[in-house]
Amino acid sequence: MKRILLGILLISALVLSGCSGETIIKTIETTKTISGITTTKTITKTVTQAYNPTTAATGSFSPISFSGSSDENTAPFTVTTDIWKIEWSYTPEAGDEDWALFSFFIYPKGETVLYVGAVLFPSSTSGSTYCYEGAGQYYISVGCASISKWNIKISPA
C-alpha cells in the first residue's frame, strides 16, 4: 500500500512540476523449496520513463516483422504509440504437430527478467495480442520446439 501511495505522490509531483513522466514499479517474488530448505528472492524494479501524451497518442510507425525457426531474441525495435498490436503465427514440423511448442516474451530493451507481455503455448497456430506498455524500445524472446517456421509482426494498434 505504501508503494502505491508513494507512486501516486511521485507522479503528482512530476505533473505539478511540469515534468511529464510515468513511474512503473514492478516486483517479482519467487519462492523455492529444495530438500526442506525454502529460499525467497524478491526483485523490485522502478522505471521512470518520459511520456508525452500528444506524441504517444498520435505517433505511428511502420510495421516490424521477424521470422525464424528456432529459439531467438529479435533485434531491438522502436514503437511510438501507447498501444501496439502483435500478430504471430507458426508452422509445426511435419509429423510433429502434437509436439510443437511456441511462446514469446516482450521485454524492454536491456531487460532480461521483467517482461511486459507474453504468449505462452497457444492452442492455435496463429493469433494476435496487444501490448499497452507504451512507446519505447523493446525486443522479443521466442522459444519454440518442433517448429519449422514462426512469424511475428508488430504494428500500431
Is the distance from CB of 29 to CB of 41 less than 8 angstroms?
yes
If pLDDT is split at 50, 70 and 90, which confidence band does 60 have? confident
Q: In this model, does residue 7 exceed pLDDT 50?
A: no
Tens-place pLDDT, residues 127-137: 999 999 999 99
| C-alpha Rg value of the chain to the nearest Å | 19
Query: SS3 of 10, please?
Result: helix
Q: How many contiguous H segments (helices) and E segments (strands) does the chain have?
A: 2, 11
Q: Which three cell numbers stand for residue 68?
A: 525464424
Is the distance from CB of 66 to CB of 140 less than 8 angstroms?
yes
CA separation, residue 61 to residues 76, 111, 129, 147, 154 (Å): 14, 22, 17, 29, 9
Region label for 97, one of left (φ > 0), alpha (ψ between -120 and 50) or beta (otherwise): alpha
49: enclosing H helix or E strand:
strand 37-50
* Residues 6+ positions from 4 with CB-CB distance below 8 Å: none
Tens-place pLDDT, residues 10-35: 333 333 333 333 444 445 455 555 66
16: enclosing H helix or E strand:
helix 2-16
- β-bridge mates for residue 33, sequence order: 38
The structural domains of the chain, ordered by start, are 2-51 (no CATH), 55-156 (2.60.120.380)
Q: In this model, does residue 47 exceed pLDDT 50?
A: no
Tens-place pLDDT, residues 63-118: 999 999 999 999 999 999 999 999 999 999 999 999 999 999 999 999 999 999 99
